[in-house]
Structure 1
Amino acid sequence: MNAKPFWKAKTLSQMTRAEWESLCDGCGRCCLNKLEDWDTGEIAWTNIACRLLDGQSCRCKDYDNRQATVPDCIGLTPQQVETITWLPPTCGYRLVAQGADLYWWHPLVSGDPETVHEAGVSVRGRTVSEAGIEVEDFEDHLVDWPGEEP
């Protein structure tokens, strides 16, 4: 008898900490700086990565302390997943919250953390660090790909 995988059997709020953390596919898209139009709420993506994002692994270099180091870093919760509009369309948290399945390249499906990179979903090799870039220059780094499906 094959049991359903936890992401099909549980809601986000029912998941253990380990299950929750494993929903992150390691794409790094949520760690890109975004610009929000104050009037419309529209999000514009940049290729500027948080200074804590490791551009090769697409993981945070100091995950446990990230919010102390980067005060505007948002620690996702099940409730926030429902309301945050800028989560990438391929995000495992967003997909599960919407009742959709994970993509074939998600490490929980493929069994390999490299498939997210091989599928061209991650930010690997496509970003610049925010270190040394002035906020007023962020508009020079606008890109569409983080908000798109591969």
Structure 2
Amino acid sequence: MAEYERSRTMPAQPEHVFDQAANVAQLDAWLPERLHVDAGDPPAVTVHEDGTGQDTPALLRSQPDQMRLEWGTRGLGSYTGWLQVAGIGSGASEVTVHLSFFAGGHDPGEQAVYEALDGSLQRLEEQVRMRVDNPAG
């Protein structure tokens, strides 16, 4: 099993950050660029990977009271992850994303995972900044 985790501080209240991260219609805006989520019938979703052209059944659960998202492959048990938002005071938040790969063939490797996590957190911060700077958007 391989596990990876990254965190990033964001200049917004935790509720704003979580609302942006958990917005199923806008997941593609911050997820790794090659992944796309079809919400289907939540918590059941389908994840499409551009690189392989493969659709994978998955689960996505939102826990707003805990400001936490959890996801993973459905039936395969090869991959899980979670995102946690925590307030750190002064109107800022820390977002942590954790990934676990249970089957070696599904783990793209440390460098690829950390690049994807860092890129995703950066895009999420950009989405949060746009929302905070323009509350109508």
Q: Same fold (TM over 0.5)?
A: no
**Rg bigger for which structure?**
1
State the TM-score, normalized to the length of structure 1.
Answer: 0.28
Give the TM-score normalised by structure 2.
Answer: 0.30
Query: Which structure features the higher share of strand residues?
Result: 2
